[in-house]
Amino acid sequence: MDTREVIRRYLIEHSATPSITTFDEELSLLDQGVLDSFGLVTLVEFLEVRFGLQVADDEIDAVVFSTFHRLCDFVERKQAGRDVTPSRGPTG
Amino acid sequence: MPTVSPAVSGVGHYVPERIVTNDELAPLLGTTADWILHKSGIRERRFAAPGQTNAHLALQASRQALASAGLEPDALDMIVVATLSPDHFFPGVSAALQAGLGVTRPIPAFDLHAQCSGFLYGLGVAQGFLLSGRYAHVLLVGSELQSTGLDLSARGREVSMLFGDGAGAMVLSQRAEGGQRPFVVELFADGRFARELWMEAPGASLPAHRLTPEDIQSGRCFPVMEGKNLILHASRKLAQAARAAVERAGLTLGQVDWIVPHQANLHLLTALERALGVPADRVLKHISSVGNTSAASIPIALSEAMASGKIRPGHRILLLGFGSGFTWGGCLFEY
């Protein structure tokens, strides 16, 4: 199973809205009720364990996790060893 | 000569009488009571009465803590108040508290500004002064009057649904038992995230009298947060502080009787339980009844649990705080 399919299945199985069986890949996972704030925490734990990633403090940016596509891009770039740090000014 | 270690000799807390339920707050915030409960785990919070000051809340909690310690105000050697909602830019709440308590000696009294981690930072400060040997009793207070600074409109609902008023106090004293019982404090900060949770105005960096009508209209005078980022940061950093404190004490989490985290949001507390792998019934939670009282949340929870007999002498307690800055920390001690 490829990375995107693993993430898709996780999101549906652990959806904050149990009735959800599918979601729009371009829209916010939070707005669609797929994720809630607690779900974000468990999602990051899942990604770290399942894909052997370390999500650093600088990489925690809800925008990254806002849509399925952004989320998958993030994971694939991490797997490829590319920089995923969001730009951040001196005080945020 | 025996070595000195800090000990908790008294605690107290005070929350204003006025209960503000989700049913009362929801219409102001353009939402429903169920939405607030679902998002935060909060059912009600306390708001101070008109005219009631932060120092007044601190005074009530402090009197209770002094009574619990069996001390008169003049036995104190220092007063530290942790708050992010002082009555004035200056002087601090500590000045009014010192006067209110009727302390006649010119002991040091100051405010400490480390937001929701303020009480943890205060424990570190108190520990240092007690270990110096010059100070025998330190009064540490976490006190917040937040209700007067909330955006009670739909624009501010994500923040304003959370916060309430209240104060918790602790008297820390020297204990000549030579390090037999643990008392460790671990503190952290990362200023790169200062604007993830902050309030821009009023501030000295702003021109034109530090606060303008435009600041009020635009909402710059209200606290704002990137809530979705915060829970991720907070759950990880609280867990980090927990592990750092137990490791430094030479203990394991399994040897801790009670974990008392900052009561920011019920979802965060649940995430923390998972991250630490600890049972939910060992984590104190009072957020549903008083909301997020920032620097006051930890001492209020502690005082409630000690008053009810849940926390008893000999128990090992792990306090955990996280807040704007970011600041975070942990304190492990034996009661």
Provide mean pLDDT across the span B158-162.
94
The answer, yes or no, to whether residue A83 has pLDDT greater than 80, is: no
Instruction: Return the pLDDT at A86.
Output: 54
Q: What is the mean predicted confidence (pLDDT) over B227-242?
A: 88
Say whether A41 and B190 touch across the interface (CB within 8 A).
Answer: no
Residue A91 has pLDDT above 50, yes or no: no
List the single residue in A with minimal CA-CA distance to B229: A62
Contact B228 A37 (CB under 8 A): yes
Residue % of chain B over a pLDDT of 70: 97
Q: Please give the Cα distance from B328 to B120 (Å, whole number).
A: 8
Q: What's residue B66's pLDDT?
A: 98
ipTM computed for the complex: 0.74
**Angstrom distances, CA of residue B215 to CA of B29, B30, B115:** 20, 22, 22
Strand partners, B7: B173
Residues 215..234 of B with a Cβ closer than 8 Å to A: which?
Answer: 226-229, 231-233
- List, in sequence order, every residue forming a beta bridge with B279; answer none if it has no partner: none
B266 touches chain A (CB under 8 A): no
Q: Which one has a higher pLDDT value, B311 or A16?
A: B311
pLDDT of residue B212: 87
In Å, how far is B160's CA from the nearest CA of chain A? 17
pLDDT confidence of residue B295: 98
Mean pLDDT of B171-196: 88
How much is the pLDDT for B142?
Answer: 98
**Chain A residues close to B194, C-beta within 8 Å:** 91-92
E-strand stretches of B120-189: 137-144, 166-175, 183-189
What is the number of CB-based contacts under 8 A between chain A and chain B? 52
Res B1 pLDDT > 60 = no
Q: What is the pLDDT of residues B90-99, one digit of tens each?
A: 999 999 999 9
Q: Which amino acid is at B73?
A: P
| Rounded CA separation B35/B230 (Å) | 19
- Tokens 């939910």 -> residue: B280
Q: How confident is the model at residue A92 (pLDDT cuts 50, 70, 90)?
A: very low
What is the value of pTM for the model shown? Answer: 0.91
* Other beta carbons within 10 Å of B272: 25
pLDDT tens digits for range B49-77 = 999 999 999 999 999 999 999 999 999 99
